[in-house]
Each structure stands twice: as C-alpha cells, then as structure tokens.
A and B are shown apart, each in its own frame.
Chain A
C-alpha cells in the first residue's frame, strides 16, 4: 500500500464549480499534513497546511480526520487559474530527529471556461 494515496483524476469541472479532493495516508504516526500545488512544468508550492480542526483560506478548505487517516481539500467557486495538480503531503517522523515529507502522486484539476 502506498504511504499517501490520491485519486489521480483528471477532474474536469466548469468555472464556478465546487470540487473536492481526497487523500489517505498509511502511517498513523504522521504528524503534520499539507496540500501543495504544482502547475504544469513548475515546482510544487505550498497551498495550505491542514489542521485537525479544519482550516479555511478563502475559497479553499482543508480537513483532517486522524481516526480515518484521511485528508481532504475543497475548492469553491473554481477559477481557470486553479487548474493545476494538487499534491497531498504528509510529514512522517522516522525516529530520532528525522522528519520526512511523503508526497502523493497528485490530483490533476482542469477548470473549463
């Protein structure tokens, strides 16, 4: 089983739609969680961290369910500029002082005019 699993998509949605991405992780000792965004032929960039209480940043809402080992990202009122690959990222502690980011394979979102 992969350490971080995501639906690869693509998700093709019209402008203005609401779209949700899901992600599951295998290591219950995982400590922190993120969504990164990667545009075509560009580097990944942090979109938002994910907290247990859920958190919102404008049109983006992230949620974490530790019991189910499940992370989600909701995008409301999709814009053309939201088209990108969304990477679910989990920070795992491998003992001692070593933390390591584990990336999912990403979910491709294409927002259509």
Chain B
C-alpha cells in the first residue's frame, strides 16, 4: 500500500494554464506539506497544513493555492502557470510538526514532475 500518493506523476502544460496536483496519505498523520525541488535539486518547503489548518506559508506567489479538504488530503492548485514553475513537486506527511523537538519523520510522495512550455 502506498503511504503518500500524488497524482499526476507527470504534468506537461502550456504557460498560462491552471493545473492541480493531488496528494493523499494513508498513514493517519496530522501534518502534510508541499515542497518544490528545482532543476538544481534544491528542495524547499512551500506550505504545511496541520489537521486542515495552514501553519506554514513560505514566500510563494499567490498563484499557488493549497487546499486541505481533510487531514488525509492536501491538494495544490496553480493558476497562470509560468516557465519558472517547472520543477518536481513533492507532497509529504508527518505525525505532527508542531511537537517539541520536531523529531517526526517526514514521508514523501513520489513527486509530480511539472513541465511548463
């Protein structure tokens, strides 16, 4: 059984389009994340939700809007796609990032490879 799953795995689209990426975890975790890994392989957090509540919102263009319908799902909608949005987007989950010490392991999904033409 896949612990953290993302769809689609590959997404090729034109500039200006709007697209969504979906993420689901079956680990019973409270916290979910979106990360972006650029062409230089740098992995950077974008958003974090705990039990459907937004707790981390990095400096991300407001064209990116996360939505968490329940604690097992965290979707990412991107409006007006730009060339610079091309990257691999990883979803992840953990027990609860707010716990003191932050020792919780994060489990990553397989990634969504987005290419904007």
Question: Taking beta carbons and an 8 Å cutoff, which residues of A are in contact with B?
Answer: 31-32, 42-46, 49, 85, 87, 91, 93, 97-101, 103, 105-106
Q: Which of B76-117 contact A (CB under 8 A)?
A: 90, 97-99, 101-103, 105-106, 108-111
Contact at B111–A31, with CB atoms within 8 Å? no
Chain B residues within an 8 Å CB radius of A91 = 101-103
* Chain A interface mostly: strand
Can you identify 24 A-B contacts, CB atoms within 8 angstroms? A32-B102, A42-B111, A43-B108, A43-B110, A45-B108, A46-B105, A46-B106, A87-B43, A91-B101, A91-B102, A93-B102, A97-B98, A98-B56, A98-B97, A98-B98, A99-B98, A99-B99, A100-B45, A100-B48, A100-B97, A101-B45, A101-B102, A103-B42, A103-B43
B108 in complex: contacting residue of A44, A93, A105, CB < 8 Å: A44
Q: A-B contact count, CB below 8 Å?
A: 49
Chain B residues within an 8 Å CB radius of A93 = 102
Shortest beta-carbon distance, A34 to chain B, in Å?
8
Question: Taking beta carbons and an 8 Å cutoff, which residues of B are in contact with A?
Answer: 40-45, 48, 55-56, 90, 97-99, 101-103, 105-106, 108-111
Chain B residues within an 8 Å CB radius of A99 = 97-99, 102
A32 in complex: contacting residue of B42, B43, B48, B103, CB < 8 Å: B103
